[in-house]
Amino acid sequence: MGYKCQRGLIAVKSVEGRSILITGGGSGIGLDAARYFADRGAKVTVCGRRADRISAAQNLIGERCVGVVADVTNADDRARLLDAAVTHGGGLDALVSSAGNMYRGLITEVEEQELIDIFHSNVIGGMMLTGLATPHLEKTSGSVIFIGSVHNRRAFPGASPYAATKAALEGLTRVLAAELGSKSVRVNCIVPGAVFTEINQRAGLFDDKDALARLNSMSGLHALGRIGKTSEIAEAMDYLISAEWTTGAILEVDGGLGLGLTSG
């Protein structure tokens, strides 16, 4: 692989020519990550359940991107998705497990099937896809990146189902890093804070016109005084894909929200 130079001080592997599979690539963090890597010369495969979103993503990103309509909770879809990524990229260098749902509800209101569904979407699908992808990642000394959440670090009432899935991903990251290290496959987890994405909009985080302005000005909660951009999460992915001696890391990319600061 090629290298890029940062200010003449350090050589860092470039993603140019690498094959990267991003689940949940039809919107939000997954979509912007796909754009980020394609712009830097990577061969990107994205998936999602909605055909219109995946078609739009492929058209937006261009020939370096292949879109696959697939549900990571479905075994046949996972196999088909992985085949498409390996064919498009000539192998597989990185799996970014970004697909997932957010469910909010008080513990007295949560239905058992809803819990099963969110764990299947947020944890089990990505876990099974990782197992399927491992033989390909072993050939390239590749990496897996799970997307966690600050919900596992701070207590937000009504978010217990979502927080539980993100806590599971952190444990999974550490165990798989130990398990796959001998195969030269690295496994890491990014923990974003509040990021302006469609999933947060659907959850009601930005329902009224003043909500985004309030979040951006909550310096008492965010040490850097604003919520994040999806492109900033993509930059963290870039580092983890190229960092050959980093595995089992839980990387907080949250503007300091996880510090537990209080407003005022």
The catalytic residues are 162
Strand order in the sheet with 94-97: 65-69, 43-48, 19-23, 94-97, 143-147, 186-192, 250-253
Helix H segments across the chain?
28-39, 51-61, 75-89, 112-119, 125-140, 160-180, 198-202, 211-216, 230-242
Name the pairing type of β-strands 19-23 and 10-13. unpaired
Count of CA atoms in the C-beta half-sphere (13 A) of 95: 33
Cβ neighbours of residue 76 under 8 Å, at least 6 residues apart? none
**Torsion of Cα atoms, 216 then 218 then 221 then 226, to 10°:** 20
For residue 187, what is the enclosing H or E element?
strand 186-192
Beta bridge partners of 43: 19
